[in-house]
Amino acid sequence: MPLPQTGFVTLTNKEPFMKYPPAVAQMLKAHGGGYVGVKPGVKDDAVGSEDARDVDLAPVLELPSRAAATKWLNSDEYLAVKPFRTDNSSGPIAIFEANLLPLDADTAKFGAYVSTMKKFTDKDMFQDKYPPLMKANNAKFGATMIARVPFRGDGSEAVLYQEQCDAYDFAVLIGFSTYENAVEYINDPEFGAEQTKVRRATTTGPLAAIKATSETMGIPQHTGVPHVR
């Protein structure tokens, strides 16, 4: 089962931070993983982002297994470059199992993602109103639920690693065929707008529609992933 890493990054020192992504992209190749999605300028996108006024960057990484992710996290090469991120940015990141993804799923088909980390402000209302809207909207846009993981309690064993996630209750990652579909999913008047309204009324925390990386992006972020887009 693959493990995604998602997060919402606020840059404090951009120049030294930018040494981190290419170094990580290169070393992930040896562990069978890589960057599979990235959204720069999250805070400037009012249509494809939510509750992200301080967020500069939203990445999605993919690792092939829990063993590979653990080996990478504890490797000397990663620990040597990790300060480029931790000393020059803030924000939550988490690595977790794709616990809703079918075992035979082809992750190469994803052209975009919706990633979010949320804290409940009205859990009862959320549980009452949100699931049917989400189910209908998922069906309309052919969305694939990749993961929904709580940070505490039952189900949190799917979380391998987390930083600065204490303010959030859960993370969700959803796959889409195109970035346009991911943005429409958030705003579509039939289901998406009401789904977004309920989500914003019952939770807080950042959300972003994120374009999948590809070989045509011109940046070293697709390195090592065992498929080509």
Q: Which residue has the higher pLDDT, 143 or 214?
A: 143
The pLDDT confidence band at residue 102, using thresholds 50, 70 and 90, is confident
Q: Tens of pLDDT along 43-94?
A: 999 999 999 999 999 999 999 999 999 999 999 999 999 999 999 999 999 9
- Would you say residue 218 has pLDDT above 70? no
Please give, one letter per residue, the 3-state secondary structure of 17-50.
HCCHHHHHHHHHHCCCCEEEEEEECHHHCCCCEE
Percent of the chain with pLDDT over 90: 84
- Return the biggest CA–CA distance within the chain: 50
CB distance 182 to 116 below 8 Å: no
Specify the DSSP class assigned to residue 156: G
- Please name the residue that has the structure tokens 């494809």: 48
> Can you read off the two tokens belonging to residue 161?
């690693």
- Would you say residue 205 has pLDDT above 70? yes
pLDDT of residue 1: 80
Rounded to the nearest integer, the mean pLDDT of the chain is: 93
CB distance 2 to 62 below 8 Å: yes
Span 96-120, average pLDDT: 93
> Can you read off the two tokens belonging to residue 207?
């959300």
pLDDT of residue 141: 97
Helices assigned H by DSSP within 74-204: 76-86, 123-141, 179-187, 192-202
- Would you say residue 220 has pLDDT above 70? no
CB distance 170 to 151 below 8 Å: yes
CB distance 48 to 192 below 8 Å: no
How many other C-beta atoms can be found within 10 angstroms of the C-beta atom of residue 127?
11
The pTM (predicted TM-score) of the whole model is 0.95
- Would you say residue 223 has pLDDT above 70? no
The pLDDT confidence band at residue 217, using thresholds 50, 70 and 90, is low
